[in-house]
Amino acid sequence: MVNADRVKRKLPSLLVEDSTTGKKSWNSLMRYRYRLTQLEKRQPEKFNSITSRILLDLTDLEKAVNELNDNR
pLDDT at residue 37, as a whole number: 96
> pLDDT truncated to tens, each residue of the chain (72 aa)?
889 999 999 999 989 988 888 899 999 999 999 999 999 999 999 999 999 999 999 999 999 999 999 988
pLDDT at residue 20, as a whole number: 85
pLDDT at residue 19, as a whole number: 87
pLDDT at residue 1, as a whole number: 84
Give the residue numbers spanning the domain of 22. 4-70
pLDDT at residue 62, as a whole number: 95
Domain count, the chain: 1
Buried b (16+ CB within 10 A) or exposed e, 28-52: bbeebbeebeeeeeeeeeebeeebe
